[in-house]
Amino acid sequence: MSYEQNLDSSKAILSTEEEEDLFDYSYEQPGSIPGTLNIEDDAEIPNIVLIDYSSDLAQKTTNLTPEACAEHMTTESVSWVDVKGLGSENILQRLGKVFGLHPLVLEDIVNVPQRPKVEDYPQQLVVITQMVVPKPSGTGFSLEQVSLVVGKNYLLTVQEYPEKDCFRPVRRRIKFNKGSIRNMGADYLAYALWDAIIDGFFPVLEIYGEKIENLEDEVIFNPSNQSLAKIYQIKRELLALRRAIWPQRNALNTLIRDGSSVINPEILVFLRDCYDHAVQIIDIIETYRELASSLTDIYLSAISNKMNEVMKLLTVISSIFIPLTFIAGIYGMNFNPDTSPFNMPELEWYWGYFFCWAIMLATAGGLIYFFWRRGWFENFSGTIK
């Protein structure tokens, strides 16, 4: 089987759902009105959670209406409005009206997924990011868009799904007043959340590091079509991770270079640290992609070596039986010994049959000994499985 056939078979092993999870980039209908919101049929109804805090107090309120969030936009305390779910156009339009979101900004927030980016407005900073969420089974991950709208004393975050996210450590820091987060503004909160999103890539990459190590042993010692399918799957997933983190690095670089009216200069130092983490993640992903690509070459070499061992074994067997077939063919000829004394006189010998067997066994034994001395039998134990 050729490499192309193996690759095609490995592609067929991958489920359609796995490919859609990694590369499901939906686009608007050509000619759509700018600001059109595309709501998925299976999207969850938005749940609005408010965390309002200052240096002295922190309180959490759930199941708010968009209008109830308006009064918190002008307070001195920091208000974190966390919206989980994109399943109601009415609620999202009302949110956009309350927070004064441009229709194109609301479109980027709702019509997922979008390429991670940063857009600076006079009174707001809009950040579109991609968060990686490991699957409970530990077999992969899913990507979720998280949108951040930073104002003077408020932060609006919009997530696709209401399930588990990577913001729990930030919530705990706010609740128990750990660190300096409750003494800082909404811009620091935005940094903390963005940093949590980027740091969430590291545990996933650790899993892929172990996968590549295990797959390397499998490819060397027991290569199969399943091994090639696993290599192909890892390469696709690493590519998805790269597509999620690479634009975030560029967005961070743009924000650090150009700044924003709602981001204090002292926060830019923290964003540089976040940028460094993004660069580290990209370096790790590129290293793993090179390792995964090299596994393909190792797989082909292992398959080639395995085929060579099989051909070597067959060659040895054929070399042993060729002279035996020659001897058996000679004594299988129908010559009449009575016609001529040269017509196979061995057929008239009393021990002729045993003599023929002795010659054949000696020939086979001599060849086996010769091949053994040459070291041709060393790797035959695990050749055929």
The tens digit of pLDDT for each residue in 342-382 reads 777 877 788 888 888 888 899 888 888 887 887 777 665 55
Q: How many residues does the chain have?
A: 385
Listed as own residue / partner, the contacts of 339-344 with beta carbons closer than 8 Å and 24 or more positions apart are none
Q: Is residue 1 over pLDDT 50?
A: no
Sheet holding 141-150, edge to edge: 58-61, 47-53, 78-84, 154-159, 141-150, 125-134, 117-120
Residue-level pLDDT at 11: 44
Residue-level pLDDT at 4: 44
Residue-level pLDDT at 338: 78
Q: Is residue 32 over pLDDT 90?
A: no
**Percent above pLDDT 90 for the chain:** 45
Handedness of CA 106, 112, 114, 118 (dihedral sign): positive
Angstrom distances, CA of residue 240 to CA of 25, 51, 79, 110, 236: 11, 32, 33, 21, 6
**Residue recorded with tokens 């086979």:** 364
Q: Is residue 225 over pLDDT 90?
A: no
pTM for this prediction: 0.76
Query: How many whole angstroms separate alpha carbon 85 and alpha carbon 190?
Result: 19
β-strands 154-159, 78-84: how paired? parallel
**Percent above pLDDT 70 for the chain:** 89
Residue-level pLDDT at 34: 74
Q: Which two tokens stand for residue 227?
A: 């091994």
Q: Is residue 135 over pLDDT 50?
A: yes
Q: Which two tokens stand for residue 127?
A: 């950040």
- What 3-state class would DSSP assign to 83? strand
Q: Is residue 19 over pLDDT 80?
A: no
Residue 29: what are its φ and ψ, rounded to 5°? -65, 130
Please name the residues in contact with 192: beta carbons below 8 A apart, sequence gap of 6 or more.
Answer: 170, 173, 181
Per-residue confidence band for 120, with pLDDT thresholds at 50, 70 and 90: very high
Q: Compare 17 and 263 and report the one with higher pLDDT.
A: 263
Per-residue confidence band for 10, with pLDDT thresholds at 50, 70 and 90: very low
Per-residue confidence band for 168, with pLDDT thresholds at 50, 70 and 90: very high
Q: How is residue 337 annotated by DSSP?
A: T
Residue-level pLDDT at 99: 92
Cis amide bond preceding 113, omega within 30: yes
Q: Is residue 138 over pLDDT 70?
A: no
Q: Is residue 72 over pLDDT 80?
A: no
Per-residue confidence band for 169, with pLDDT thresholds at 50, 70 and 90: very high
Residue-level pLDDT at 2: 44
Per-residue confidence band for 286, with pLDDT thresholds at 50, 70 and 90: very high
